[in-house]
Structure 1
């Protein structure tokens, strides 16, 4: 079996070498200010550069050290008010779906202007420079999708948080509302009537908000910064050759995908973990029963947490028989237990790869969940915002995690959840089983992303992968016009026949009455 696998790998490498193509000039645009989003695309761009492609990367995150074939065009992030926004998010007890969408819009859509108003980027637009391919993050950035038209190049969309009904529209993918959950909810793929009703409501709100609020705003940007554009924004939105999606059915659910929507969850993970710093290694090894890693991600900083919540967390950690690594953004933490190691930054993927790290306490961000699945680690999830609730619910439903209410958990609840996952082997066993299915693919996710990217380059946009739905309007796509005709004709016939019968009977009745009268 191993020999067959090795032969398959060698054949694939040979195929890749045969399918190699000349160096391409690629414009990669990533305006979202969240570093976790950029993390998803970074390894992908580096691999493309290593294969000889020339990358112009537009993002708030330039390379720390220059990399051959990567040219950075750096966006400046306005961080004023960021701390207040995060604190409000942490303290918000309840948000409606509409409130969530508004918050996403405020966070994301303005980042389009980071690109469009950037002087270096404007010079690039006005220059004679040409690109063979545009790679862009697809998340409420519709005005930027005009770059494909502007440079007359095919576009690849990258979605760091998987897909939804709005992103599906970009390649005319179908999102069956009866069994594909909206990411803003907590429903899974098997829903009862009320859950399906809630899912329909979420889908409707997302579509309406996108088409009535976000797209009109992006339309104004589009008209202002691309005054010579010849395509309508509605057509520009469907001009994608390929979508790379940060998802995989092994830890979510199977769902329909068109040929040019490719699942590449895990492509940001280096498959050869690096050695972690000596002090972290020593702290992990000093715990006979293993260690725990705790991080709330790059946006929800632990230093922003209320004092009472920090105290609850410390009390829970102090009562544990294991050491805890805690991503904490300050250099000191008053009252820190002896079994807790704090640091502003941890090499998260490498930490989770460590065999003695037994549990991951996480906010449930998509990257964190994928890394937990990749390394087969169970979780205790404390979601805060948007898709994090559904991500944690996936882990709970699959049996490799527990969930806590981040806004009102107690110290005892946190301790009990941690001990339950640590002491009950079923969580780790199920995490490893799901990890095995996650890894069992014909091609590693980054290799798949590179293959399909170069496929688009080789085949000049690969129009053969795109479904014909892009040429149909809403009524045609959903067969409303044909269904109306299909049912209207029999209905008309029934009405005509009924009318005719009534006329005949009335006629007979009239004749009968006349004869009686005579």
Structure 2
């Protein structure tokens, strides 16, 4: 009875507790063409809207049904060549590092320019509308970071692939190259000499290309579309109040983070899975040994794969003793095995939550890896480009998956990899261990993201979170000036003393030599 009274009293008190954050107007910009990046933040933005904040979202993926407190500015025709670009990118990603960086540059332009050219966005810029907060994806679109200054609002950046040396610069974080690998590489956090050398090379190339090619192009866009800006682009880039990072040490590795860089991997996953469509549920349950799920993500489409590769995949699946759900973007697939169910779209997280789904065959995208960890499912990884290689390496290293080469695998290699993970319980056991670590947090990732977002609103940009290095130039930030004094003065003093001693000795030897010559003349 006492407990019931206490609960009623507590609920009554909570009902009268004022909100710690008033309703805010938030502008969210996630312009990249693949739905993957927007999937990362969709639940986050909807949750902010549900808490009373007014969201204006700029993306290529508007809400299918109107949502309270949610306004879409839709980017449409600018992305009509996206599929062709991805096909080209897949081929170029197997080339040199410089070619990969050029592809990245082309992709980054596809992000910022469609926003800047959008007429509805331009009307928003010219209006007197006020925003309390800017939330923006941070991926090579520095010109858009001017929106913080333009609307006189703090900025929160969201990195859908986690942190790297470029993202670090936005909040003056550090990535020690000896044990923090570049996301675009294949090294892990424990590296030998040659791997550390490779990591240094990869990070140096990315830094140079970013500052010599990408940022100058973003500078031109910045000057063109924000002609009245008073800050330099270099200052705008370091004007973030907070970074939300789609990473977590449980399936990655521990690394340094400043107070306003927050790990929120998993914030896109709903805690309670939805019931699957009847046909999918029936197909999964019809397989006595369970089922597996295969998807290449939202950017790479299985339907566009070469015929030979499609045949290798089908041959592998046909030889398996389990049913296979395959994300395939066409309604028919000639020669499809009887144990394969194709569909243009699957509720991926809900599929992986099903207890009879035993394995995820994945391209290794960050969101797919997070969902596999969330639901404790082992993987067979077939990475295609960028951070997917390292994501699959993580799974292999952590012991909850195996990897195969996407470019040249055979049906036998794919079948053997799947059977290895299905038949060896160590992969599932390890997936469960990592999943337990992933879930063991003070707050779930979505609540964490919302808490820190409203923290920035409550504290008007939360300057107390930001390290002082943002006020320092390159030489000061890296202590080049102080080290020059610390080591330079003793060095100059040593040189001066050496010079004095040399002069004294030279004079002494000269005097002795003159005396010797004089004695000889005498």
TM score, norm. by length of structure 2:
0.95
Q: How does 1:420-499 map to 2 (within 5 A)?
A: 420-499=420-499
User: 1:24 maps to which residue?
Assistant: 24
1:304 matched to 2:312? The reply is: no
Secondary structure class of the residue paired with 1:110: helix
Partners of 1:21 and 1:459 in 2: CA distance: 10
Q: How does 1:186-201 map to 2 (within 5 A)?
A: 186-201=186-201
1:204 matched to 2:204? The reply is: yes
Higher mean C-alpha displacement, 369-378 vs 93-102: 93-102
Shift, 1:86, TM fit = 3.1
User: 1:184 maps to which residue?
Assistant: 184
Secondary structure class of the residue paired with 1:205: helix
User: 1:250 maps to which residue?
Assistant: 250
Shift, 1:17, TM fit = 5.9
Q: How does 1:322-337 map to 2 (within 5 A)?
A: 322-337=322-337
Shift, 1:454, TM fit = 0.5
Q: Deviations over 1:313-342 (max 9, x none)?
A: 111111111000000111111111111100
Q: Deviations over 1:367-424 (max 9, x none)?
A: 0000001111000000011111011000011011101000100110000000000000
Secondary structure class of the residue paired with 1:179: coil
Shift, 1:110, TM fit = 2.6
* CA-based RMSD: 1.9
Distance verdict in 2 for CA 1:187–1:14, change over 3 Å: farther
Q: How does 1:361-400 map to 2 (within 5 A)?
A: 361-400=361-400
Partners of 1:15 and 1:434 in 2: CA distance: 38
8 Å Cα contact 1:60/1:77 also seen in 2: no
Partners of 2:220 and 2:296 in 1: CA distance: 36
Q: Deviations over 1:458-503 (max 9, x none)?
A: 1000001101111111111111111122111111121122222222
Partners of 1:51 and 1:80 in 2: CA distance: 35
Shift, 1:101, TM fit = 1.7
Secondary structure class of the residue paired with 1:446: helix
Q: How does 1:113-152 map to 2 (within 5 A)?
A: 113-152=113-152
Shift, 1:92, TM fit = 5.1
Partners of 1:491 and 1:22 in 2: CA distance: 59
Partners of 2:500 and 2:90 in 1: CA distance: 70
User: 2:319 maps to which residue?
Assistant: 319
8 Å Cα contact 1:238/1:470 also seen in 2: yes
**Structure 1 gaps, min length 5:** 1-6
Distance verdict in 2 for CA 1:507–1:146, change over 3 Å: same
User: 1:340 maps to which residue?
Assistant: 340
Q: How does 1:409-420 map to 2 (within 5 A)?
A: 409-420=409-420
Shift, 1:78, TM fit = 3.1
Distance verdict in 2 for CA 1:83–1:47, change over 3 Å: closer
8 Å Cα contact 2:251/2:438 also seen in 1: yes
Aligned pair count reads 510
User: 1:56 maps to which residue?
Assistant: 56
Secondary structure class of the residue paired with 1:281: helix
Secondary structure class of the residue paired with 1:181: coil
Q: Deviations over 1:3-28 (max 9, x none)?
A: xxxx9xx99x9799666221111111
User: 2:4 maps to which residue?
Assistant: none
Distance verdict in 2 for CA 1:468–1:298, change over 3 Å: same
Secondary structure class of the residue paired with 2:150: helix
Distance verdict in 2 for CA 1:26–1:342, change over 3 Å: same
User: 1:405 maps to which residue?
Assistant: 405
Distance verdict in 2 for CA 1:14–1:203, change over 3 Å: farther
8 Å Cα contact 1:34/1:299 also seen in 2: yes
Secondary structure class of the residue paired with 1:324: strand
Shift, 1:79, TM fit = 4.0
Q: Deviations over 1:31-55 (max 9, x none)?
A: 1111010011111111111111111
Secondary structure class of the residue paired with 1:294: strand
8 Å Cα contact 1:87/1:305 also seen in 2: no
Secondary structure class of the residue paired with 1:71: strand
User: 1:85 maps to which residue?
Assistant: 85
8 Å Cα contact 1:143/1:221 also seen in 2: yes
Partners of 1:87 and 1:469 in 2: CA distance: 41
Secondary structure class of the residue paired with 2:329: coil
Q: Deviations over 1:131-160 (max 9, x none)?
A: 111111111111110000000000000111
8 Å Cα contact 1:378/1:428 also seen in 2: yes
Distance verdict in 2 for CA 1:100–1:130, change over 3 Å: same
User: 1:3 maps to which residue?
Assistant: none
Partners of 2:293 and 2:154 in 1: CA distance: 42
1:162 matched to 2:162? The reply is: yes
8 Å Cα contact 2:78/2:114 also seen in 1: no
TM score, norm. by length of structure 1:
0.95
**Structure 2 gaps, min length 5:** 1-6
Shift, 1:85, TM fit = 2.8
